[in-house]
Amino acid sequence: MTLSILSVASEAVPLIKTGGLADVAGALPAAVAPHGIAMTTLIPGYPAVLAKAGKAKAIHNWDSLLGEPARLLSTKLDGQLLLILDAPGFFAREGSPYQDGTGKDWADNARRFAAFGRAAADMAGGAVKGLRFDLLHAHDWQAAMALAYLRFAPPAGGKAVPGVMTIHNMAFQGWYPASLFPQLQLPRTAWSIDGVESYGGVGFLKAGMESAHVITTVSPSYAAEIRQAEFGMGLEGLVASRGDRVIGILNGIDAALWNPETDPDLPEPFSVKTLARRRANKRALEAEFGLEPGDGPLFTVISRLTWQKGMDVLLEVLDHLVGLGGRLVLLGSGDAEMEAGFLDAAARHPGKIGVRIGYDEALSHRMQGGGDAILIPSRFEPCGLTQLYGLAYGCVPVVARTGGLADTVIDANIAALSAGVATGVQANGVHYHALASAISRTIALYRNRSAWQRLQKNGMKADFSWGASGLAYANLYASLVKEAV
Ligand code: ADP
């Protein structure tokens, strides 16, 4: 029997992307399809989405979705059904999905994503003619209210379907003051400790977690970490109380988009058998960033420039990295002080450090295909995708030992090296000495050509495709649907 799943996400590749969530939401339908799952994705109708979606058919109207008129558009993307919530009052604006051009959160984000959730609940609850779903899968706080609406205010005569809440990052919870509650059009019963109330306000992610039948997060280590205060961000008690209903399923990578043999963005495609061709990509990358070509390792960073990603500590160790003969190319944007810090480091080390402030998908591919190692010193990392792309592209990951980074990179310690299984380097903490020593270790490994190539090849041969995780999601859906009947 084919199960019909509604996947609700605020971004999805190839339509709109600000981070890893989009990669996952975009890849999931194809990942579960081989296992008898028909997944339909719902995303908001931002201008970029409407422009890319092409010919879409209107299949439903809301006169007022939390005060704004809205339509549901239906189209196909890569053979899968894609639904777009076209609500111009909420989504027809330039800027990022969550922020205006100056980087400030849109003032009405709470209403925008509550409306998104309301629409998803109507769809999963059977209120939209022609659509029928067995389960609703919500991603992150922007989609979480779908589960709360389905539980506390299902459409009249609607069918109760089970819900899955996936946390891609616990640090973003969608918390708003209590004064929002009357605008949500939820019954008073929803205002409770096991409902939408969270620390005296309304917590979107919290509401989704309370209303979900199962909570998932994107790596087994992070699923364990969020039971502790350091990572749970105030919701650790709730996570712990859900016991074995909180599980970790590792993200995969979309091999159609991230394969060094077929990547159209690489000057010189290569495989594990033709690793020597990588050199041309390295030379091109050095030239692109205005670096002096050299024999030393070329480190890369492709990241949001934030405290979570440990970029403040990385700034502190750059002199050490350059002092040992390393060079760095960085692509990212975020915290204004960090952006300025990296630009300053590039000015201090001309020809050794190159910095691009911004977002550039094609350049991120060229960096994975030409860099020697990718630095990911995150303080916490639910899964992380850049280390997986690094592994697939022979760009050795140098990571902090946390969350999905710890689950996917095998540290080149003595035991792993002698067994020939290492794939990268893990830093033991996110502070100056931990990172400086990981960089020293990496550079020493790099100077041993055969050991380094072994690291690269091990990573390239490792399987981080969606195979196993697609099956894990499919099994989870099937068990919840069975439990519900
Ligand atoms: P997060 O979602 O926390 O930002 P992930 O590692 O899970 O971190 O996913 C980040 C995704 O965004 C990856 O696909 C990465 O390649 C991409 N990315 C991050 N910053 C940039 C950038 N400045 N330009 C292009 N791609 C970027």
Reported as a single tens digit per residue, the pLDDT across 332-343 is 999 999 999 999
In a domain, 264, yes or no: no
Same domain, 471 and 402: no
Rounded CA gap, 214 and 477, in Å? 10
Residue 128's pLDDT is 96
Higher pLDDT, 372 or 102: 372
Q: What local confidence, expressed as pLDDT, does residue 95 receive?
A: 84
- Ligand 1 binding pocket includes 302 (Cβ within 6 Å): yes
> Does residue 204 fall inside a structural domain?
yes
Please report which confidence band the pLDDT of residue 134 belongs to, taking 50, 70 and 90 as the band edges: very high
Residue from 21, 23, 366 whose mutation best tests the ligand 1 pocket (most atoms within 8 A of CB): 23
Looking at the CA of residue 376, tell me the nearest atom of ligand 1. Answer: 6
Q: Are residues 196 and 310 in the same domain?
A: no
- Atom of ligand 1 lying closest to residue 383 CA: 7
266 domain residue, yes or no: no
By most ligand atoms within 8 Å of CB, the mutation choice from 359, 378, 405 for ligand 1 is 359
pTM of the model: 0.94
- Sheet-wide strand order for 246-248: 57-65, 68-77, 80-86, 37-44, 3-8, 135-139, 163-167, 214-217, 246-248
Which pLDDT score, from 0 to 100, does residue 350 have?
97
Q: Which residue has the higher pLDDT, 476 or 78?
A: 476
Which atom of ligand 1 lies closest to the CA of 389?
16
Query: Tell me, what's the pLDDT at 105?
Result: 94
**Mean per-residue pLDDT, 124-144:** 97
Q: Are strands 197-198 and 201-203 parallel, antiparallel or unpaired?
A: antiparallel
Task: Note whether 406 and 363 are same-domain residues.
Answer: yes
321 with 350, same domain: the answer is yes
pLDDT range class, residue 159, cuts 50, 70, 90 = confident
| Candidate from 96, 265, 304 with most ligand 1 atoms within 8 A of CB, to mutate | 304
User: Same domain for 232 and 310?
Assistant: no
Whether ligand 1 lies within 6 angstroms of the CB of 331 is answered as yes
Mean of pLDDT values over 79-88: 94
* Binding site membership of 334 for ligand 1 (Cβ less than 6 Å): no
For ligand 1, the distance from its centroid to the CA atom of residue 225, given in whole angstroms, is 22
- Model confidence at 80, pLDDT cuts 50, 70, 90, reads confident
223 and 302, same domain (yes or no): no
What is the per-residue pLDDT for 62?
98
Give the model's pLDDT for residue 395: 98
Is residue 365 within 6 Å of ligand 1 at its C-beta? no
Is 83 within a domain?
Answer: yes
Per-residue pLDDT of 241-292, as tens digits, reads 999 999 999 999 988 899 999 999 999 999 999 999 999 999 999 999 999 9
Looking at the domain assignment, is residue 257 inside a domain? no
pLDDT tens readout for residues 414-438: 999 999 999 999 999 999 999 999 9
Candidates 367, 230, 202, 377; CA nearest to 298 is 367
- Compute the distance between CA of residue 143 and CA of residue 147 in angstroms, rounded to an integer: 8
Q: What is the pLDDT of residue 212?
A: 98
| CB of 20 shorter than 6 A to ligand 1 | yes
212 sits in the region (left: phi over 0; alpha: psi -120 to 50; else beta) called beta
Ligand 1 lined by 307 (C-beta under 6 Å) = no
User: What is the C-alpha separation between 151 and 145, in angstroms, rounded?
Assistant: 10
Task: Give the number of the atom of ligand 1 that is nearest the alpha carbon of residue 381.
Answer: 3
Q: Would residue 370 count as lying in a domain?
A: yes
Percent of the chain clearing pLDDT 90 (strictly above): 94
406, 221 Cβ separation under 8 angstroms: yes
pLDDT per residue over 203-225, tens digit each? 999 999 999 999 999 999 999 99
Question: Do 278 and 386 belong together in one domain?
Answer: yes
- 425 and 391 in a single domain? The answer is yes
Mean pLDDT within 159-176: 96
Centre of ligand 1 to C-alpha 423, Å, is 21
Number of domains in the chain: 2
Q: Are 231 and 277 in a shared domain? A: no
Largest interatomic CA distance in the chain: 69
CA 437 to ligand 1 centroid distance, Å: 25
Q: Is the peptide bond before 187 cis (omega within 30 degrees of 0)?
A: no
- CATH code, domain carrying 39: 3.40.50.2000
The pLDDT value recorded for residue 447 is 97
**Residue corresponding to tokens 């055969």:** 450
- 104-122 mean pLDDT: 97
User: Per residue in 173-185, pLDDT tens?
Assistant: 999 999 999 999 9
Examine the pLDDT at 54 and tell me if it is beyond 90. no
Mean pLDDT of the chain: 96
| Domain membership of residue 71 as a residue range | 3-252+466-484
Residue type, 252: G
Query: pLDDT confidence of 1, banded at 50, 70, 90?
Result: confident
Average pLDDT over residues 443-471: 97
| 457 & 475 share domain | no
- Shared domain for 279 and 378, answered yes or no, is yes
More confident of the two residues 188 and 1? 188
Residues with Cβ within 8 Å of residue 366, at least 6 apart in sequence: 265, 266, 267, 281, 284, 285, 288
Task: State the closest ligand 1 atom to the C-alpha of 331, by its place in the atom list counted from 1.
Answer: 23
Do strands 57-65 and 68-77 pair parallel, antiparallel, or not at all (unpaired)? antiparallel
Q: How confident is the model at residue 77 (pLDDT cuts 50, 70, 90)?
A: confident
Does 72 have pLDDT greater than 80?
Answer: yes
Q: Are residues 220 and 122 in the same domain?
A: yes
Structure tokens at 148: 């709360």
The pairs formed by 46-51 with CB atoms below 8 angstroms and a separation of 24 or more are 46/16, 46/91, 46/92, 46/93, 46/97, 47/91, 47/92, 47/93, 47/94, 48/15, 48/16, 49/15, 49/16, 49/84, 50/84, 50/86
Nearest to 355 by CA among 395, 305, 391: 305
Does ligand 1 lie within 6 Å of residue 364's CB atom? Answer: yes
E strands present in 87-199: 135-139, 163-167, 175-176, 197-198
Q: What is the pLDDT of residue 188?
A: 98
Backbone region of residue 437 per phi and psi (left: phi > 0; alpha: psi in -120 to 50; beta: other values)? alpha
Is 304 inside any structural domain?
Answer: yes
- Is residue 446 in some structural domain? yes
CA distance 403 to 271: 28
At residue 53 the predicted structure's pLDDT band, cuts being 50, 70 and 90, is confident
Determine the distance from the C-alpha atom of residue 467 to the mean position of all C-alpha atoms in its chain, rounded to a whole number.
Answer: 18
Q: Is the CB of 378 under 6 A from ligand 1?
A: no
Q: What is the whole-number distance in angstroms between the Cα of residue 363 and the centre of ligand 1?
A: 12
Q: Of 144, 164, 153, 87, give the one whose Cα is nearest residue 125.
A: 153
* Cα(67)–Cα(60) distance, integer angstroms: 16
Does residue 118 have a pLDDT over 90?
yes
